[in-house]
Chains A and B, each alone.
Chain A
Amino acid sequence: MPSQLVLKKRIASTQSLEKIFRAQELISASRITKARQYAQNAMPYADAITKAVRAVSNHASVEHILTNHKRKAKATALLVIASDRGMSGNYTSSIIRQANAQIDKLKADGKNVLLYVSGKRAVSYYNFRNIKLENFWTGNSDAPAPERSQEIAKALVDCFLKTSKNGGVDEVIIVCSEFVNMVLQRPRVIRMLPLQVVDEENADISDSEELGASLSKVAKVKNDVGQEAKKQGVPLYEFEPSPDAVLDAILPRYVSSRIQECMLEAAASETASRQTAMHTAGENANDLVEDLTRKANQARQASITNELSEIVAGAAALQG
């Protein structure tokens, strides 16, 4: 039985920990609101770009280097989006596990993998293991600024546009978190480049099930929209100066807007995951305090009983 003093100290420290957990939980709760706000702010931009991309893809000849996926992929850029800070349960570790599985699979296919990482946690994970990162970004993972996404998109598109000989890649895959709801966030894999602006029949679904599923989903959306647009009679746009130049302007922005979408979803997942983790930790601390209090009471009771029996024994000895 630990001494009363030790137990009291432990109770005090657990109580202060509980306060920290509670505070963290409240902070995450307010950050979630902020993350939602960011997502809402980004919506009109994303919508406008998606609409424009659809308008262009309805145009008969969509041939652009960013949509070209005829070439056989030899090198892949993998963007891992994780968090800057811990205390978010298994959020980062599940992302990293998914990323590592993806890396292994790509390597098994004989592809060279270039790693792009966002989030301090993931960066330090790879640095500790001496795994080379092509590029990394840290800071503000729970409130990603659009400039960051533009920067990441630029790096990825540049890498995609380079020839294989110069260290370019043939596809870009993103591993990030999917925000299902407040208690469930799961890692997912998205194929970013080459962009999918073809009909479902032509979609390349020879990859993994997951990839295939997401691909055909994208293609299906495009398809639906295409048909819808045809029904509504979307006007044939005039492109100025030329369809190619307009694609050059729009597609990189589309990529960056999609990445921003991923970052925002990751931010929401991170804060939600942190909130859940902190809630559980707070509850555990509470349980622990209860347990320790009981033990402390027991110890107090034991010492009183001890004292009493000593007094009684002393009295008995005097009488005898």
Chain B
Amino acid sequence: MVNNTENTPHIMQYDFVSPAGKIMDGKCVQVIAPSVEGEIGILYDHEPILTALKEGQVRISDEKVVHKVEITGGFLSVDSNEITIVADSAKVL
């Protein structure tokens, strides 16, 4: 990876969508989501994964703040540092 040097932060792209539309998108350094098997944390260079989500809270941290979103279920995919979170319904806290 080109950006993977000591002083550049490891930034991933994320998209958060629900049937009502796009909830948020942007850049982040970490995503924590309630997978059906327990919470899953995604950091830079995570392997491609497709996982089902259960009801709970998704926490997306960019460099400054942590966005918290309450979801009722959905799934999450990670693919070459692009995270897609698909929620059945989402409430930004």
- Interface contact A238-B15, CB-CB below 8 Å: no
A249 at the interface (CB under 8 A from B): yes
Contacts of B48 in A (CB 8 A): 235-238
CA distance A248 to B35 in the complex (A): 14
Q: Cβ of B40 and Cβ of A240 under 8 Å apart?
A: yes
Chain A residues with CB under 8 A of B19 = 42, 45, 146-147, 149-150, 256-257, 260
A65 contacts B by Cβ under 8 Å: no
How far does the Cβ of A31 sit from chain B's closest Cβ, in whole Å?
A: 18
Q: How many angstroms between the C-alpha atoms of A48 and B18 in the bound complex? A: 10
Residues of B within 8 A of A123 (CB): none
Q: Which of the residues A41, A245, A253, A256 comes within 8 Å of B36, measured between beta carbons?
A: A245
A253 contacts B77, C-beta separation under 8 Å: no
Return 12 A-B CB contacts under 8 Å, by A number: A51-B77, A52-B75, A56-B50, A149-B19, A150-B19, A237-B79, A239-B49, A240-B51, A241-B36, A249-B36, A249-B74, A253-B74
B49 and A238 within 8 A (CB): yes
Question: In the complex, what's the smallest C-beta–C-beta distance from A284 to chain B, in angstroms?
Answer: 40
Q: How far is the CA of A164 from the CA of B27 in the complex (A)?
A: 49
- Consensus secondary structure, chain A interface: helix
B80 within 8 A of A: yes
Given contacts A48-B86, A49-B86, contact A239 B50 (CB under 8 A): yes
Bound-state CA distance A150–B84 (Å) is 20
Contact of A45 (CB < 8 Å), options: B18, B35, B52, B79: B18
Given A235-B48, A246-B52, A41 and B21 touching (CB < 8 A)?
Answer: yes
In the complex, what distance in Å separates the CA atom of A41 from the CA atom of B35? 25
Asked whether, in the complex, the Cβ of B86 is within 8 Å of the Cβ of A253, the reply is: yes
Decide if A250 is an interface residue (CB 8 Å cutoff): yes
A44: interface (CB < 8 Å): yes
Please give, as numbers and ranges, the residues of chain B lying within 8 Å of A55 by CB-CB distance. Answer: 50, 77, 79
Q: Does B64 contact A (CB under 8 A)?
A: no
Q: When each residue 17-49 of chain A gets 1 if its CB lies under 8 Å from chain B and 0 otherwise, what string results?
A: 000000000000000000000000110110011
B51 touches A52 (CB 8 A): no
Within 8 A of B (CB), among A224-283: 234-241, 245-246, 248-250, 253, 256-257, 260
